[in-house]
Amino acid sequence: MRMRSFSIVKDSAPQAVAAGGLLFVGGLMATDDKGDIAATGVAGQARLIFENLARLLRQAGASMADIVKHNVYFTCETDAVGAFLEELDAVRAGIFSAPGPTTTEIRCGLDKPGALLMIDAWVVTDDTPRELLDPPGHWRWQRALPFVQGWKVGDMLFIGGQRSLDSHGKVLGLGDIEVQTDEAFRNLDTMLRAGGGDRHSLMRQNTYFRFFGQGREVTDYWEKMTNVRRRYMAVPSAAGAGLRIQGMGDADELIQVEGIGVLGEDKQRLQPANHWDWSIPNTQFTQGWKIGRLAFIGGQISADDKARAVGDDMETQTRNVFNFIRRTLAEGGLDESDVAKLYIYYHAEGDWPRIEATRAVIERVQREFYPGAGPAVTAIRVAGFAFENLLIEIEAMAVTRD
């Protein structure tokens, strides 16, 4: 097996990487062939992004019908979320036919001035049989959409954003993070069982939550939420990330959770000694998993063994994070050359020159660890992380070579 890279932007890093029957598509914005934002308005940017996505897929010998999972990262004011998603969905409804891919919509910050949304995708490029995952009585969207809750593809389970909604799309547990966490994770658990697995099958599990407190309040809130999450977590748990964001598809939502599962018991937990650790002792959280040809490296942070941030600048924290990824990969006999996709979540405020300077620091450090073509990347600006004073968190997806 070898990795193949694809891009439609001149002289850019790969926008998509194919490996092991999967195509990992990095975050795409409404850019032209030079990488500049080339469309305005939600609908205009959405159409251009999907045109670019279709071009990438054609390069890889795939089509839009091969997408099993896609995420939308968008930016707008809180009171404009509903109108924003209506415009976006009007475009998506003309592109995807039911049953389409899974979907997760996250309100966050983007990399480029003028960008309103970014989309990434997981694509199955071979003829592995698929099974739609649609449990009876599950939550539903408020309007008819071509998207699905999940797909089973061979032994992989692709599960879209699970939410605290009822069968009519109404938010449950208004203002209560514990109730909403319980509902979202119960829905994730239901999806795993619908695919013939359970919580032990979950390899990657990302939690997006809305909270704007400061200082110690950040860790207290995460611990309150996590004490509920642990009711649904395997021991040891999936790898993943916990990210504070600006919001989701409904202004009343406090949390969403999504996941990727792999069926089978022959797996290796990647848990380096003397690594950073979480604030709750003996949680049995996991840094990474290797199963079959895939490796999932959970969100790595620049912290000590009590989840206290190490380094007060972006360069120091980014380098520490990439070293933690390297150490976790090494537990599975892997290195950076096996990485097909990076998810980079970072915190940057201020004007665009400051944001661009921060992003440049991350890219420079990234090149130290990935000097070649490198993996596909999805990078977003988040409101914060599970613990105070962190600036960056990065996940990695790897595919073993022959």
Sequential DSSP letters for 230-289: GGG--SS--EEEEEEESB-SSTT--EEEEEEEE--S-EEEE--TT----SSTT----SEE
User: Among 7, 59, 64, 5, which residue's Cα sits nearest to residue 33?
Assistant: 7
Would you tell me the crossing angle of helices 81-92 and 42-59 to the nearest 10 degrees? Answer: 40
Q: Which residues, at least 6 apart from 318, have a Cβ–Cβ distance to it below 8 Å?
A: 302, 361, 362, 365, 366, 391, 392
The residue written with tokens 């193949």 in the block is 4
Q: How far apart are CA 160 and CA 102, in angstroms?
A: 5
Reply yes or no: is the peptide bond before residue 129 cis, omega within 30 of 0.
Answer: no
149, 134 contact by CB (below 8 A): yes
303, 276 contact by CB (below 8 A): yes
Dihedral sign from CA coordinates of 49, 342, 157, 206: negative
387, 309 contact by CB (below 8 A): yes
Residue 108: per-residue pLDDT: 97
Reply yes or no: is the peptide bond before residue 101 cis, omega within 30 of 0.
Answer: no
What phi, psi does 249 have (nearest 5°)? -70, -15
Residue 238: per-residue pLDDT: 97
* Domains of the chain, residue spans: 1-127
Parts of the chain with a pLDDT under 70: 1, 402
Q: How far apart are CA 303 and CA 222, in angstroms?
A: 16
Q: What is the DSSP letter of 79?
A: G
Strand order in the sheet with 16-19: 4-6, 16-19, 22-28, 117-124, 67-74, 102-107
User: Among 117, 8, 131, 129, which residue's Cα sits nearest to residue 58?
Assistant: 8
Burial environment of residue 129 by CB neighbours within 10 A (0 to 12, 13 to 18, 19 or more): exposed
Q: How far apart are CA 385 and CA 272, in angstroms?
A: 22
CATH topology of domain 1-127: 60s Ribosomal Protein L30; Chain: A; (3.30.1330)
Q: What is the DSSP letter of 299?
A: E
Long-range contact pairs involving 230-234 (C-beta distance under 8 Å, separation at least 24): 230/283, 231/182, 231/185, 232/185, 232/186, 232/188, 232/189, 232/199, 233/199, 233/284, 233/285, 234/198, 234/199, 234/200, 234/202
Q: What is the DSSP letter of 78?
A: G
Residue 79: per-residue pLDDT: 93
267, 290 contact by CB (below 8 A): yes
| HSE-CB of 295 using CA atoms within 13 angstroms | 29
Q: Which two tokens stand for residue 122?
A: 């997981």
Residue 282: per-residue pLDDT: 79
Residue 388: per-residue pLDDT: 92
Q: Which two tokens stand for residue 283?
A: 């949680």
Residue 53: per-residue pLDDT: 97
Q: How far apart are CA 87 and CA 232, in angstroms?
A: 35
| HSE-CB of 245 using CA atoms within 13 angstroms | 29
User: Among 376, 276, 385, which residue's Cα sits nearest to residue 327?
Assistant: 276
Q: How far apart are CA 211 and CA 228, in angstroms?
A: 16
Q: Which two tokens stand for residue 306?
A: 């009590």
Q: What is the DSSP letter of 184?
A: H
